[in-house]
Structure 1
Amino acid sequence: MKKYIIITLLLSLSLTISTCTESDFTDNNSAEKTEVTLNITTSSPTLVGNATSKSIETRTASQTLTANENKISNIWVFQYEYNQSTPLSSTLVEVPRYYSLSAGATSQSILLQTSKATQYQIVVVANTNSSTWASDIAKGSALSSLYSKTTTYANEAAMYGNGNENLLMMGTGTPGLISSQTNVNVALNRLLAKITFTFKIPDALNLSVTNVGIYNVPNIIKCGAPGSSDIYPSSGFNTAVYSEIAVTAGTKTATYTWYVPENQQGIITNSSANTKNDLAPQNAMFIRLYGDFKDNGNSYVFTVYPGMNETNDFNIRRNYNYTVNLDINSVNLSDARVDASPANCFVVTQNSTIRFNPYNRTESGGGFKYSDYVNKSNITKTISYVKILWQTGNGTSLAIGNNSANNLVYMLDDKIYVKSGNINGNAVIAGYNSSNQILWSWHIWVNNKKPANVANAVKYMTYKWDATGIYTNQLVQGHSFMSCNLGAEDSQFQSLTSYGLYYQWGRKDPFPGANKLVLDPSAESGSLSDFDYISANILAVYDNNGALIDMPSTVGNSTSVFKAVSTSPTVGTIAYATQNPTTFICATSIPGNSDETFLLNYGDWYYGLNDRLWGGIPYSEATVKYTAPDGTLLANNGATSKSIFDPCPAGWMLPPADAYMIFTQTGLAAGGIDNLNVVSATRYGYTYYVGGWKTAPTSYFPFNGTRMFSGLITRPAICGVYRTSAATPSDNRVYTLHCHNWDTDAMVNPWSGPGDRYSYRANGAPIRCILINE
């Protein structure tokens, strides 16, 4: 149960400002001026956490910076001739002046216009940290001009003074006469709200928190406060202002503090805390905690909306403290504050239910915005209904089941619900708009072995490398591999159930895997190792109603659910791929021909060039590069931030280019069992050592073949190809692990001539995800 304590900030801690520098302005005002003393009062609330850290990742509960919360580094002074009947029309009589305060200043004399009959009002704005901030406020302007002035912030560091560690404040003195030796008192209020968030998890609950964040934070501050019933702002939200905070593994309690611009989104009619989230206005500010639940291997997100109460208030006001305590005693989907963590893949156990918010995505890798594709504020991008596109099964049982009654996959209160079936398997569900156009689709991975459970991950080492070489005698910690391929039922040795699914590079949606083994060693090349992508050669798939999807032909077939089409300027686009998640986009001008001579667009399904689809950067932007003796070009251009097109579950992402270096003695291509870091050689896959050279732990990588750029399947049980997020510098290809039962290329890179055709982006290949937070 979360708990809010609302504290209105009280005025205290008198500061008398002195030893300051006044900005020079041209002012021809000939009115009499008198020297007065300006006294400023600031509030002093209890501070929990480091409110002014330059890096939010280092904010901890043990750091208290009360002095910075009250710090005044500089002020702007405005003098208005007071209009009692309409105060906002009061007139500015002096050019505003900027004072930079020296450290420890306690008093300051300033010149103000005086009159025995005229009442004046003094307004002070503190901590703008800019001597030009008020240059657009002209003498003679009304007080309303200052109140309507806004300041825009690019990020959280700017909100905390860009290194000055201060907070924007503003205060208005009491109107009155000003005469010689008068003390002018101004009480400053912070133009920000303070949010203090604490979570607590009992030791017995196997929930590991991975991230905490605050969202829907405006990037603007207006000097004048909105009315108590106003909705403000209606726009001006910038996700770059506040970012997620990585939480150290095993943390059971922590406190975080943020200072944020006010965000008033109103009060609704509601009396239950359990339904507050479902009724939240679109722009309301919220806090999210992400965690992995080890009991079932699923990832969850806990969402709370701070405000004056737990039920119906969505107003975050300036100069207020909002303390939110989240005590998590169980993972209960009956609570509307608990959802599956957002991703393109959801891992669920058999006979279970998940719920997720299809409008909630925060990934930033590659620079893509999810709201460009799914957005509640745009009717054409709003989801009207969901259904199953395909699901695997055995003829009796299905990964999900017969959804003809919309009772297994459905949408309710802007959230999607999925009830899994009673076998391990895979499904893809899609969200449609009112025009029956697919807006987005998600992979549902039913697996009782809990492959996304962090406890099942396998830590790997890799070789140290830099711009001068690969140092195979120096190991560095890599990440952790998922225990099996994405979409696999298990990691069983020499079994079809370990194969997993096929992915074209840069696309988020999977294609069903092969159901075929090349058992004859003489068929390791040529037509005997290639198969049509038809029902006989792939896993059995079923539709929304549980009916078998027959695929008599896919290549060039315009009606098949899993048709393959040639890329073009209209087909090879993100929009087309998103709206057609079961269509394989070939990189060939002649369907069915796998000869590189006929390839279009350098073997890419995407028509053009985009190295950022899976979150990485172009090779040209990498900061560390190495050219190996065999011509391999290594670069640190893999993803550091997950893309919205990354196919992995929450908490996991695609591996970088150097993830597989430990698989060979050189870190590059190697042949012969003595040069491969394997337990033993087999026809169906390798069990690689990943802890070092011939050093445990180990991880099994099956040879599950490839769906080639032509749409055909080639070499299952002969060839293994595994994706990374990194693009190569030439020929529009990608870094790829390529392995056979006689060799391993740990980092396939285009060679001279036709190169290795398995590194083409249009190929469909399996994925082995890695943990993000380690």
Structure 2
Amino acid sequence: MYKLTFYAITLSAALGFACSESGGMDETTLPGPQNPSGDFHLTAAIDPITRTELTDASTVIWKAGDKLSAWIDSDASNANVELTLTPESDGQPVGRFSGPLDPSSDAFTLYAVYPYADYGSDPAAVMRTVPAEVERRSDVNEVIGVSDFMLGRASLSRADDEHTIAFSHPLALLNIVIDGSNSIFSDGVIESFTMSAGKTFVGDVVCNLKEGSIAAADPEAGRTLTINYGADAVMSAPQNAWVAIMPADLTDAGCTFVLTLTNGQQITFTVDPKVAFRAQTRYTLTFDDIDGWISRKKAAAKSYDLVADGGGRANCYIVRNGGYFKFAADYPDRNKTYELTGVTGADWLWSTGDQPLVANLGYGSKNIYFTVRPGTEGNAVIAARDDAGNIVWSWHIWMTTEDPLTPTHYTRGNTWLLIDRNLGATSNEQGDAASYGLYYQWGRKDPFPGVNTAGSNAESSEPGQFSGSTQAFVINDAFSGHTFKSVRNSAMGDDDLAFVTANPTTFVHFYQQGATGTNTWAYNLTADELAALWNSTTDKSKKTIYDPCPAGYCVPVNNGYAWQNWTADFVAFEPSLSGVVYSNGADNTSYYPAAGYRKSGQASNVGYTCAYWAANMRAGTITPYAMWCYNRSSLGNSAQPTQYGLPVRCMKQ
């Protein structure tokens, strides 16, 4: 029986490489075949094709079921013959294959392709495909034999007892390394990485085994390669992906690399590798100084659109990851004209903490742009201003690493759905002051800071407005004259809404009765105008442009018993009440902290008053509904003055 021995390639270790601004690249050329260490016979093939594995040193290890396609030059009876690995070669670096190969000449040329397929009778026109979209392979050993192929050619003689053929790898092996651990995107997860060029480097190819060459079947196609990643591809650690590409000179080919994260962030790198990718050679491209590349204009971040990707316009936008963001500088109402007039710039107005939590503010194309560092938790307000520096509109940016929009099902089936924490809260842990969130005067869209303590009977109120119990905050010096303070309602001038819009840090308290009536911050508004600021009905679809909740959510509408008839447990962490746990079944509970309220700007009753706004007024009054519980008293609905600043628990529309 005829004998033949095949050799597999051995890939050498790759050198480290990082794409430089000049586009340089290191490479390693693979050595030729090693000396033979075995032989094999030709017999029938039965087993299905399996993948050939490689060792850590990138030596091919043949596996049971591996098959080859073989041709004898100018011999139609020996065209695309199926050869199968013999059992004794399983797990060996040199394979012995068997098959019905029967050369008719004493001297002949043998061509082979791994893996076996029905390639046809012409060894000069073997069709293969270099995939243009692949799943991430983190090891080069996972690439060879899966997404690409090996070619062999040898001049042989029937007179020899043993024959050898050396395989070569016709493709270039490219390792993409992405390391975002020190970037603004470090808390993201990679979704895909796309490489594009002005020349063909993937797609259908024609292998000419006689010449030992490959060429693109269509030189105008195959110019984009996409690598899809898995859920474990975190930006906080280096991630590498191996792919095979055609040999191609991509110098000055206009290469771009697009990194897309699962949270919607996208970074485009414009770098020229300045290299001719060669067969049987491995290359490494490393993208690790992402922020630096962006600052040096070698990369650009596509801002995550908080409107388009976040469900629509709103006065509050949620940011859970670091990165670049934008939102439309428009009114947050689907039913009215969006455009704000007179906007010429934007900046952050105030932020919780001792440093601003948003940065790189910009305004252009009617959008506001900003960045947030990974892991940021807290709240900020961004304001759009006109040429004179006046605030035209402002938006709340709620930064929390958790998902705050997890509704909890409560009474009346699934019709009453509220999120599991207060608006602006970065926690929903019982007894944590961070669960208190922010405070809102009824009918106004802009928040006021929370508090820094869970409260107690002894210290439940501040001695002055926005003083000792208020959480730390900073105000931007660029907004001259804006600070947290409380003023009389009579100080607003002729237009209440114009005043509070232009002064989002000013708390307005009742001093004189105006057109509206008593115990309200409003002075010029009528009762009907005041009632319409949030919602004068019990229809949760009637969200207004002054509603402070994120898109798809609103201040709860209350039909008189929304917060009643629940089972409630009082939760004490201090000598006073610290919260209430409502439940409507064992799996349907939610914690409402006793955050108290602000009165004339002062935090009051912190720790033993639960008070939460509803969106609508009690019939025939100018006092809106609220859920109210004071010092372990009975729970239920209460009508409270609009001048108070209360927390908000948003309702799903």
Output the TM-score relative to the length of structure 1. Answer: 0.42
Which structure has the larger Rg over C-alpha atoms? 2
Structure with more of its chain in helix, by fraction: 1
